[in-house]
Every structure is written in C-alpha cells, then in structure tokens.
Structure 1
Amino acid sequence: MSALLPAELAWYVTGRFYEANDGTLADYGYFLHLPLPDARMFDGEPGETTAHFTFAAKPFKAQAAANGALSLSLDPVGEFSLYLQRKPAGTFGDPASFAEGECIATFRRTSLVVGATVSDTIGGATGALFGTNVFSARLIASTSFDFSGRRHDLAHHIGAGITQFGTSAATEIEPAPAGYKRVLPFTGSAIALGRAG
C-alpha cells in the first residue's frame, strides 16, 4: 500500500479516558484499523484483550470552561504512543497494559485540544449526553517493524501526522480501576496530514 493522500482515512480507534485520583487525565485503547497492508489487527474476536495495536497517552492536567449546556475541557499539548503487542495483553481494567509491547510510533498534539460535553435537562434532571473533540498530532518518532509477513512503518503510510475526530459517551464506566475516579469510553477516526513540507 502506498502512502496515504492528505485527508485520507488513517485509522479508527476506541478506548477510554481515565481521570486519576490526582486529577491527571490520559487515554488508553486499541486500533480497529490502521493503514498497514495485510496486518492482522486482532488475535481472535475484536476487543481490547485481542488487539495487536494499542495506544497510551502521557498523563496531563486539563483546564475547564463552561458555556451554557456545554462543558469544555482544555487539554494541553501532549504525547501519545502506539504499541505493537505480538501477544495481546491490553485490558481496560489495567490502563497501563495498553503501553505493553513494542513502541512503533509517537505523536505530539500540535496545539491545545478543546473537548466539549453536551448536557440536557430531562425529567427535571440535568445530565451529560455525549462529548466530542478534534485534534491534530505530528508524528515525532517511528520505528519500522515486521508483522504478518511484511515490513511496516507508520512514517511511510501516514506521513507527517493525523487529525482525529472523537466522540465519547457521557455515562461513566463503573467501577473505575484502582487509582482512578472517572472513566469514559470513546471512539475516534483520524485522517492523514500528508507529507511534511
């Protein structure tokens, strides 16, 4: 497969946002699709425990703002890495498990990320409905690797980086793992930025 064109689909992910007891945030999860020819995404039925390709973010602290029914999260520039798990070991009960295996790429968000959570009043009670965010991230490191009988390198396929569009559920997942006070599931799709320069 040749390199992706600018704005061509790069990946689909799903994961969870975790808020730790100290107030830091991070997201962890796995890939449903990557532009890697012939690469098996799962070792069995799709799910976090069978995913060969996972991601983990460096924890960060966010600021908040509000505008009516919108709750805004202002996330600083930060990094996340992609991992190849030849023997899948990811589980949402242990977020650090998504950072196991071989680090095959690292991305850095290019600017502040604004996430919006939409709320509504139903039956006299106000509750969150869903959340969205959009961010761009530049590829800052990539390592070639052999998998499924072929050699791969995200720097070749994706280019300079991605822009990702995400949607999160507003209903928290309980119970949260030890050390965390809030967990929200999300999904995201990303397009390629194209070649640098």
Structure 2
Amino acid sequence: MANHLHIGDLPKGAFAGATSVAVDSETMGLRLGRDPLCVVQISDGKGDAHLVQLDRATYDAPNLKALMTDPAVTKIFHFGRFDIAMFYLHLGVITAPVYCTKIASKLARTYTDRHGLKDVSKELAGIDMSKAQQSSDWGAAKLSDEQIAYAASDVLHLHALRARLDAMLVREGRDHLARACFDFLPHRALLDVAGWEEVDIFAHM
C-alpha cells in the first residue's frame, strides 16, 4: 500500500481500466464560494491512494477532470454532495456517475443516526479512522506526512464500504431508491451552488 502525491494533476492514464474510483477532497473550509479546493484524493480500491495537490491559480487539471466526468467510471464518495459542488465551482466539471456511501448508509442503516465515515467504517469494515488532521491547513505549500496519510485514509476503504452497503440495501429492498438518489446527487450539488443549499425544494413550505 502506497500514497502517491501529484502536483497539479493526475498522471495521464493513472486509472486506466478502472470501473470505479473512491474520491474525496480537502478544502480550506466548508463554505461554498468562499473556501477553495486544495487537494483531491483517489483510490481504485486496490490499496494505493493518489493525491492531487491542485494549483489554485489555474485549477488546470485535465486528467483529473476527465476522470471525474468519465461515464464509464463510477465515483464513490462519502457525502459527495459537497465534493461534487466544489468540483463544479473550481474545476468546472459536473462529476458523474456517482455513488455516495453516506446516502447508502442513511437508507440501509436506519437503526442508527451515526452516518459519518468514521462510524460507518468502524462498524462495517472494523477500521478505526483517525480524524486528527481533518481541520489542518490544506492550503499549505507542502503537505505533511500526517496530512497525506489522513487524506489517503478517507478513500482507501470506500470500495469495501460500498460492497457492504449494497448488500444491506438489497436486503432491505431500498437499492432502487439509492440508485435514484445517486443519479440526482449531481443536480442536488448544483442546487447548492445556485443558492438552494439550505432549502428542501420538495418541502411543502
């Protein structure tokens, strides 16, 4: 297992042949339009993680953008709504097709209200994740070894979580609802960007 740091963009063909990749991002904060996108981390589920430290002056990352929009590659997120919105704002792409383990968890694990990645990973994969670097400076010119390890950990196990959650969704008869939610997720992210971030457009009032 190795973590690979790339400056500016993924190497060309880095995920050639992959049908799914796990994706996460690190930003300077959680507010759309204020906080810049700094790092994107990706894994094909085989044990390695690739981190792209973006050039925030240009966000010129054609290989990364091509992967995010490749219709033959499913992008697996945990709370993908935020990442997808960030990718649209800063990379100018609509990420699809997608799968979100947080949505899957909420549909399948109705016996709990604990759907954070740390909780889901501990129950379904037996992995106790550290979140010590979550609030560190991701805009720094040089990432620390601890930051790199933390960012990698957020994508290394998403494939395994997807498999476990898919089985639970099928068991509970909710897999079709999950697929519909995943299809809608990029549109939900675009609504966030357009100003409906705090509004449930399906609510009566």
Q: Say yes or no: TM over 0.5.
A: no
Kindly indicate which of the two structures has a greater share of residues assigned to helix. 2
Q: Over alpha carbons, which structure has the higher Rg? A: 1
Calculate the TM-score normalised by the size of structure 1: 0.28
Calculate the TM-score normalised by the size of structure 2: 0.27
Kindly indicate which of the two structures has a greater share of residues assigned to strand. 1
